[in-house]
Amino acid sequence: MPISCDAIPPAQPTARLRRQARRERWVSTEDLRIKALDVHRRLGEEFGLPIPYFHNLDPLSELVSSLLSHRTRNADSGRAFKALRGRFPDWAEVIDAEVAEIETLIQGVTWPEAKAPRIRQVLRDVRDRHGALDLGFLAGMDPEAARFWLASIPGVGPKTSAAVLSFSTLRMPALPVDSHHHRVAQRLGLIGPNVDVGPAHDALRALLPADFTAQQLYDDHELLMLHGQKTCHFRAPACGRCRLLDQCPTGQARSV
For 92-123, the pLDDT digits (tens) are 999 999 999 999 999 999 999 999 999 999 99
Q: Give the rounded distance of the alpha carbon of 190 from its chain centre.
A: 13
20 falls in which pLDDT band (50, 70, 90)? very low
End-of-domain residue from the set 167, 199, 220: 167
pLDDT of residue 137: 98
pLDDT of residue 16: 54
pLDDT of residue 27: 75
Region 211-235: mean pLDDT is 97
The reply to whether 136 falls in a domain is: yes
Nearest to 78 by CA among 69, 89, 88: 69
Higher pLDDT, 2 or 28: 28
pLDDT of residue 15: 58
Q: Does the N-terminal peptide bond of residue 50 adopt cis geometry, omega within 30 degrees of 0?
A: yes
Q: Is the per-residue pLDDT at 61 higher than 60? A: yes
Region 216-238: mean pLDDT is 97
For 66-97, give one letter per residue: b (16+ CB within 10 A) or e: bbbbbebeeebbbbbbebbbeebeebeebbeb
CA end-to-end distance (rounded Å), the chain: 44
pLDDT of residue 142: 97
For residues 193 and 93, membership in a common domain is answered with no
pLDDT > 90: what percent of the chain? 87
For residues 117 and 210, membership in a common domain is answered with no
Q: Is the per-residue pLDDT at 19 higher than 90? A: no
Q: Is the per-residue pLDDT at 74 higher than 50? A: yes
26 falls in which pLDDT band (50, 70, 90)? low
State how many domains the chain has.
2
For residues 98 and 151, membership in a common domain is answered with yes
pLDDT of residue 255: 74
**Cα gap 178→112, rounded to integer Å:** 19
- Please, are residues 183 and 173 in contact by the beta-carbon 8 Å criterion? no
Query: 90 phi and psi, to 5 degrees?
Result: -115, 125
Which pTM value belongs to this model? 0.87
**Cα gap 255→225, rounded to integer Å:** 22
Q: Is the per-residue pLDDT at 42 higher than 70? A: yes
DSSP letter for each residue of 148-196: HHHHTSTT--HHHHHHHHHHSTT--------HHHHHHHHHHTSS-TT--
Task: Give the helix ranges, DSSP H, for 26-136.
Answer: 29-47, 59-69, 74-87, 92-95, 99-105, 112-130
End-of-domain residue from the set 120, 144, 167: 167
pLDDT of residue 166: 98
Region 194-198: mean pLDDT is 96
Region 184-212: mean pLDDT is 97
Q: Is the per-residue pLDDT at 156 higher than 50? A: yes
Helix pair angle (143-151, 158-167), 10° resolution = 130
- What CATH code is carried by the domain that includes residue 121? 1.10.340.30
Q: Is the per-residue pLDDT at 169 higher than 90? A: yes
Q: Is the per-residue pLDDT at 24 higher than 50? A: no
* Containing structural domain, residue 69: 59-167
Region 145-171: mean pLDDT is 97
For residues 233 and 194, membership in a common domain is answered with yes
End-of-domain residue from the set 167, 199, 234: 167
